[in-house]
Structure 1
């Protein structure tokens, strides 16, 4: 790093907490050259003025002692003392000027402030140590010469004169060099600590912002998944029940005049299907209402003691035991459906059973929509680690298809349900012109 353009912290309130590059850039933008604040400029001007007055007096005294006009010494002292105004920009140069004026015993304030500024700046420590050593050594030599000159006419203590002179000179050199350097190093270390803490705080703030963004993304993704789940449940309930109702309505229209008894049975079946659809819709709406967060208690009421969170109840829904009733509904609508069960029947979990049930329901609904009159086979298999279901139907026998709207989301919804449990799903046409839907749901979630 350059030793002539080192940044020095502000000496005002705050103890030099301003960061180097930031303060320098701000100072440059504000038009105060290398001063971060106006008060820093005023402080340096005041110190330079005091130093110029001191150096002028000391320079005039030294010039008179060596036989030079005091005015010349005073003028030189003013120039030397005024160098202190450059301490923030060129601290090395200020210290060198102070060292150069040490033999003339001029620039006491210049040396002290210069050493402090040098130690507090970003100048490498080896340069600071070298210049501080030069300043101390020069001060010690001047003190030794001064003491020897003052004690040369003293008749007593000639044996202890030199050791005492050296001891006092060393103490004086340390006293004039050590405190400003140590204070500057302390300010420099404190400024670096503040900068590191500020950088850490900025880093934590950025991390918090990233976490907040990720939390918002997760919340939005959860809302989208919940909307998809609700839409899928609504589709399964409404599409199947309403499809059967449309089929029964078409049959009722065909037999109402020919066979009143059969028409009455179809009408009764329509009512049962409508009631079942309303019941399932109410169940779904009840789940949505109970999943809302409870209202906050009044502020005056005491806070309840914390309790362990209860395990989330499994989602209510249809079970595999109701597959027979589902098949009977399709048979009552005129579809030839056969249900076979392989393996020992056992509970598989509410969510898994609801998923398999919805797959069978949607598959039979598609048969009603797209292959009227076709025969279908539903095969349910209980295996050791999974539940598998296979629904196949043959080609349509030419029976007119009732006008049933289709949203095109049936197969997608079935796939989403199965893959959410880590299972496998496949659907596609068969060689004989029919269609095949198969799903495998593991009993242990993936």
Structure 2
């Protein structure tokens, strides 16, 4: 599992400047070994320098223990190792110090300068010691061996820790970059998930609104006509049995049409629930977003498809209102032509809902329906005259939810059109809408 930068920061539990206890233990062990080494090497140094052996040992122990702060002050460790190189001390400290220096976040010129000083110091000391050994007769090799030994020893003590430190430092920086990138990607994924949830919630709200509007337009008109016919049936049941039979047949037909349209609407709603049920079982984020988008457009695609109402059915719609006792006058201006399914359905629903409102609030009032086919738009207007006096035979009490005009406005404005409604000076009510033909 990838460890992010935040988790790395929370994992800092070591003492002082150490990130972990094991790092402190490692540095303490290296410092102890380095102190023992320098203390042992302080004995010949004290003899050669003519100072007390105890002083040389103490000097070696103090110098070797500097390795303890290699993570905090790597430059100081390297400088101390270079300073005690002439005394032939601190080989472990020099190697570990160069490795730590090369792996730190320091400028390349600083690392190069200190590595060059360590290389040069080791080379000079080795050259002098080997030459002295050959002068004393301890070594009987040729003169070529002196520079060879100096160069080989200095490179062997400097190059490997330097290269290893550079490699480890580059790898560490790469891992930190990957952790930062992982943190950034995690934040982006969280943001995308939040946005996907917002879009899904928006899609669900849109779907509910569309279904509620469609059900209102479809069912309210049928039920209103059924109530009007039922009232007429009650009035003429005894006086004119034949007319009562016709009204009863109309009520049955309208009830069946309302049930059919309601069943289609509920079928679309069940399809949306099936998609929502599948969404909860570990579906990928992309599938959730696609399902949400599909849910938002399902009502438009299925309810608003070519199978829905169209302008050619206006005559039948007006005939149903006329059969319920309403006097409706239809006038069409312009060349009749076909439009996109969603435009024709919207125009049909506007007229349907306007007639429903007349049945509810102005029963018996004469109504004028005007439809205009223009070059780049289609306009419709439904205007009723002043309703008869309250208590007349045409008045029928119907409940009103107050959402009819809101739904019409949403439909028209959603297609880029203009919707206006309001009372007339003559005491009637007018509903006007203009929808772009494109």
Q: 2 CA distance for matches of 1:20 and 1:230?
A: 48
Q: 1 CA distance for matches of 2:197 and 2:342?
A: 28
Structure 1 counterpart of 2:404: 410
CA deviations 1:91-148 (Å, max 9, x no partner) are 1221121111111110000011011111112233332222222222222222232234
CA deviations 1:195-216 (Å, max 9, x no partner) are 1111112211222222222222
1:389 is paired with a residue of what secondary structure? strand
Name the TM-score, length of structure 1 as normaliser.
0.83
Q: Which moved more, 1:106-115 or 1:274-283?
A: 274-283
Q: 1 CA distance for matches of 2:31 and 2:182?
A: 38
Structure 2 counterpart of 1:420: 414
Matched, 1:134 2:117: yes
1:397 is paired with a residue of what secondary structure? coil
Q: 2 CA distance for matches of 1:208 and 1:21?
A: 16
Task: Answer whether contact 2:4 2:179 (CA < 8 A) is retained.
Answer: no
Task: Answer whether contact 2:41 2:88 (CA < 8 A) is retained.
Answer: yes
Structure 2 counterpart of 1:115: 98
Structure 2 counterpart of 1:143: 126
User: Any residues of structure 2 matched to 1:36-55 within 5 Å, and which?
Assistant: 36-55=19-38
Question: Cα gap change, 1:20/1:79 in structure 2, threshold over 3 Å: closer, same or farther?
Answer: farther
Task: Answer whether contact 1:24 1:35 (CA < 8 A) is retained.
Answer: no
Question: Cα gap change, 1:294/1:199 in structure 2, threshold over 3 Å: closer, same or farther?
Answer: closer
Structure with the higher helix share, 1 or 2: 2
Structure 2 counterpart of 1:306: none
Structure 2 counterpart of 1:342: 333
Which of 417, 420, 430 matches 2:424?
430
User: Any residues of structure 2 matched to 1:268-287 within 5 Å, and which?
Assistant: 268-287=249-268
Question: Cα gap change, 1:290/1:120 in structure 2, threshold over 3 Å: closer, same or farther?
Answer: closer
Task: Answer whether contact 2:3 2:179 (CA < 8 A) is retained.
Answer: no
2:87 is paired with a residue of what secondary structure? coil
Q: 2 CA distance for matches of 1:24 and 1:426?
A: 63
Deviation at 1:60? 0.8
Task: Answer whether contact 1:373 1:399 (CA < 8 A) is retained.
Answer: no
User: Any residues of structure 2 matched to 1:97-246 within 5 Å, and which?
Assistant: 97-152=80-135, 161=143, 165-166=146-147, 168-246=149-227
CA deviations 1:406-444 (Å, max 9, x no partner) are 111111111122223232222222233322212223333
2:381 is paired with a residue of what secondary structure? strand
Q: Which moved more, 1:435-444 or 1:109-118?
A: 435-444
Any gaps of 5 or more consecutive residues in structure 2?
Answer: 279-297
Question: Cα gap change, 1:24/1:340 in structure 2, threshold over 3 Å: closer, same or farther?
Answer: closer
Which of 304, 308, 312 matches 1:321?
312
- How many residues in Structure 1 have an aligned counterpart in Structure 2? 409
Q: Which moved more, 1:404-413 or 1:30-39?
A: 30-39
Structure 1 counterpart of 2:237: 256
Matched, 1:357 2:348: yes
Deviation at 1:194? 0.6
Any gaps of 5 or more consecutive residues in structure 1?
Answer: 1-16, 297-310
Deviation at 1:232? 1.1
Q: 1 CA distance for matches of 2:4 and 2:39?
A: 35
Task: Answer whether contact 1:119 1:128 (CA < 8 A) is retained.
Answer: yes
Q: 2 CA distance for matches of 1:214 and 1:146?
A: 73
User: Any residues of structure 2 matched to 1:50-129 within 5 Å, and which?
Assistant: 50-129=33-112
1:103 is paired with a residue of what secondary structure? helix
Deviation at 1:25? 6.8
Q: 1 CA distance for matches of 2:256 and 2:171?
A: 78
